[in-house]
Structure 1
Amino acid sequence: MDFEIDVIFELSGGISFSIEVNRFETIREVKDKIQNIHHIPISQQYFVFNGQPLQDHLYVYTTPILHRSHIHLLVTAADAANLAPPPPPPPPMHGHSSLAQPLLERQPSTLPSTEMPDNTSLTQRRMTTTVTLSVKMPKSTDRVHIELDRKDTVGKLKEKIAAHEDMQGVPVNRIALQLHSMGQELKDHVALQDYAVVENPEIDVFLKPPLPVAGSRRTHPGKLKVKVLPMLTKERIEIEVFPMDTVSVLKQKLEELQRMLGFRLPQGNGYFFIHKQQDMHEDKTFHWHGVSDGDTIETFDGFIITNPRS
């Protein structure tokens, strides 16, 4: 395996650059490279890959990033001008001010202009700044068309959906969205344009389970509440089980929620559970594993192989 790969970073407005990344580097170390090369503070860098944010602690080899993968880099507009050295300036021109134009390959003003004229029609401008989304509500067979500015966030889209007549009484915090073509949940704070949304994309709406009543620690006497952390995600999913349930019950409940919410799980049951750094056997109970109320259980990609006794 080649440990060094080239990764392409894309910004809004068509700006992009490539850097060499080692598969054993963390996302935080990749950000440090960008800071050294392009002078963007690490605190102002935010990576989005396939619609999912990349956390600083992840190693590149644990993510789906491959050679020549494209990652969306979100930075402030003030920093975008410093991403790469500007192209050679045009020859000085008498009577014109010298304005820096980093990353934009424009012809000198003495040449015939090929840019869109200033009197661009309002219709053309509107088409470039707005997007019409085809939204599938849970209780409707037809898709609903919702128009938003490309710079609007996923959270703004959720507010529009919650206000629709098919969603009356459903709070915004129960709404989960995913691009039909991606199958991954969209994050509230990310702008639509940063998900590379094209004209008339299809958005699917899912409903999260209702939040527990305030002040109640358990919804059923004798049950345990455990927090499940799926591998390679930042999800923290709370699930209730009985102490004498087998671990296979937890897998069933987790996969039901995955179909509803769209978070990542390996296909073909290719994962197992870890509790306090010990792998869990699906045919054993939570009591047998020593699981207590409020404990954290993590998933780990792969299979448990047991050696048959001779």
Structure 2
Amino acid sequence: MIRQITSVSVVSESPAIAEAEHVLSKPELEKESEAVSKEVPVKTQKSKSSDVGPEPEHKKALSKEVVDQNKKNRKKKSEGWSFGVGGGSGKTVSGMNMFSNDDMCNSPGDMQPPFENPDDPDEKPDNPEVESSATLLSTRAEQRLPQMRNASYEYVHRMPLSVGFSVKKNITGRFGLESGLTYTFLYSDIKQSGTKGYIGDQRIHYLGIPLKANGTVYRKGIFSMYLSGGFLAEYCVSAKRRIIHEITKPEMNRWQFSVNAAIGAEVKLIHPLSLYLEPGVGYYFDTGDDMPTIRNERPWMFGLQLGLRLSY
């Protein structure tokens, strides 16, 4: 009996133990599966973030390089310098025809000898065989110098000529300041009222310092257009007036001030060389004296400048 009970108990316990083990193992398996399921999304998210992560960093690196390059380009433009040399001429605005007879020098064949008047018998030589007509005319002119000092004169002004050197500092890509040094030559023929021949001339030399602002309004390829305007201060370094053989230095205000504006066109030939053309207009303020110059008589002047420019 004892053996049978023992055997039965053993037999009955073995399935219970197995079932208990099965019951206990199932929750553990579920927990493990849940843990695995939780770990898998995390791993996939990490993998996705790891896969996606470098791309934004790569884009940021590229954008930073572009921004740095743009800053360098802007800085280069803002620190750019331009050096130019050019020259030109001007004409009063009241007479835009630059080839009018009043402003063109006569050829040597058109020049009349001073004080030659066919109606005056004193102007003709008494003895051509002894004294040439040229010598006699010169002698007569020297004798009449005192009379000429009290006579009225007429001035025929020629087109002013100017050349200059300019330096431009680019503040931004489209705006800059310009200065430099200019030389201007004013020439006028003198004749006595009522006569046709010229009896002398007047020569005035100016050195000036301009201060202008330039703004680019159009740019495409090698071509660009800009507006320019500013102020010019000039000083007369030499002024001489010649009447026959007498040379004098006229009294005048040495300073000349003016304002000007121009529209320019520039074409790049080969880096860093470019060609520019500047038509413009200027107004010359009254010097406060009676010096007969084209600027005092006609303050509005139209000018045309042509030159070369080096840009760095």
Q: Which TM bucket (shorter chain)?
A: under 0.3
Higher-strand-fraction structure:
2
Q: TM-score scaled to structure 2, two decimals? A: 0.21
Q: TM-score scaled to structure 1, two decimals? A: 0.22
Task: Say which structure, 1 or 2, has more relative contact order (CA 8 Å, 6+ apart).
Answer: 2
